Amino acid sequence: EVLANQIAAGEVVERPASVVKELAENSIDAKASRIDILVEDAGLKQIRIIDDGIGIESEDVEMAFKRHATSKILSREDLFKINTLGFRGEALPSISSVADVVMKTATKGKPGTLLHIKGGQKEELKSTQSREGTEITVNNLFYNTPARLKYVKTNATELSKISDIVNRLALSHTNIAFSLSNNGKTIFQSAGNNNLQQTIGAIYGIKVAREMLSFTGETGAFKISGYTSLPKVTRAAKKAISILINGRYVKNFALSKAIIEGYGSKLMVGRYPITVLNIELDPLYVDVNVHPTKQEVRISDEDVLAKLIADTIYARISEENL
């Protein structure tokens, strides 16, 4: 069992950022309205995630760390239909097989539970005083899998990957207040007030966000909306472009290209606009035949959607006479 979990961990838990992603997604699934992410040494020493979600019943806590013990049984096809991010039931068993994990959780009006698992072995299970929600602390990630540790990059790189994950989650869940700190220093904070432009401001700066152009567009099957930066406000990194399909962060080369095309010759080669593009579509249009932890998706009638995006952004920029 421990070995199976460590093998699964190889797939699910690549680095500190993947732990942050899995745990924060669990908090989102638990309907948290606030998620605080505190890391030490870019997550290699410690990752602590505190949410105000629904918590886990004391009798279910141990089960949550067993393989495939998901409470969210779904098919891949359901991915873009429903409001849950987890579905494999692998994150907690995987993470706790390669780290020293303590979970404190409580449901409304009930005493809390503390479970300590180290390297897949239960160290302690007891009831404890805790407010509603879940706090999970992951210490010494990969302490027992040195081969994994070798793939981990510098703290600066790992921290920027964590930061990217948290930014994406904040952009796709503007109703949740996120915070991220490293060694006690706050790196990011979103208000959770459903304001996308303000969330963009928390990531890219208030001034950039204020100057962004909002856009909307529609064809038969697709509806798009979002914000995109002035042609002079660009980044050298592709990740400046965020694409959300039905509220889920995805990667799609053709659609990113369509955004850039919308700028025509106004964009310098090799520069990327800061864009948050929301796409609403019938989930049947999403080809989910791709690995679930990868964010790449294919879409039916992708060329129609790409044209809508390019045309909408082109029109918006022309309108401003930029």
Interacting residues with ligand ADP (CB under 6 A): 22, 26-27, 30, 51, 53-56, 64, 69-72, 86-92, 134
161 binds, among Mg ion, ligand ADP, none (CB under 5 to 8 A by kind): none
Closest distance of CB 29 from Mg ion, Å: 7
Distance CA 286, CA 292 (A): 13
Closest distance of CB 88 from ligand ADP, Å: 5
231 belongs to the binding site for Mg ion (CB under 5 A): no
30 binds, among Mg ion, ligand ADP, none (CB under 5 to 8 A by kind): ligand ADP
CB 229 within 8 A of CB 273: yes
Q: What is the DSSP string of 261-318?
A: HHTGGGSPTT-EE-EEEEEE--GGGEE--S-TTS-B-EETTHHHHHHHHHHHHHHHHH
Q: Residue count of the chain, please give it.
A: 322
8 belongs to the binding site for Mg ion (CB under 5 A): no
Specify the DSSP element, H or E, that contains 35: strand 34-40
3-state helix/strand/coil string of 147-182: HHHCCCCCHHHHHHHHHHHHHHHHHHCCCCEEEEEE
Closest distance of CB 29 from ligand ADP, Å: 6
Distance CA 53, CA 56 (A): 9
For tokens 């070798």, the residue is 150
x/- mask, Mg ion, residues 118-147, rule CB under 5 A, reads ------------------------------
26 belongs to the binding site for Mg ion (CB under 5 A): yes
Closest distance of CB 170 from ligand ADP, Å: 17
Which tokens is 279 given? 């796409």
Exposed, middle or buried by CB within 10 Å (0-12, 13-18, 19+), for 296? exposed
Exposed, middle or buried by CB within 10 Å (0-12, 13-18, 19+), for 271? middle
Closest distance of CB 248 from ligand ADP, Å: 15
x/- mask, Mg ion, residues 72-111, rule CB under 5 A, reads --------------x----x--------------------
Closest distance of CB 130 from ligand ADP, Å: 12
Residue with the closest Cβ to Mg ion?
Answer: 86
x/- mask, Mg ion, residues 38-77, rule CB under 5 A, reads ----------------------------------------
Q: Which is nearer to ligand ADP, 87 or 227 (CB)?
A: 87
Residue ranges binding Mg ion (CB under 5 A): 26, 86, 91
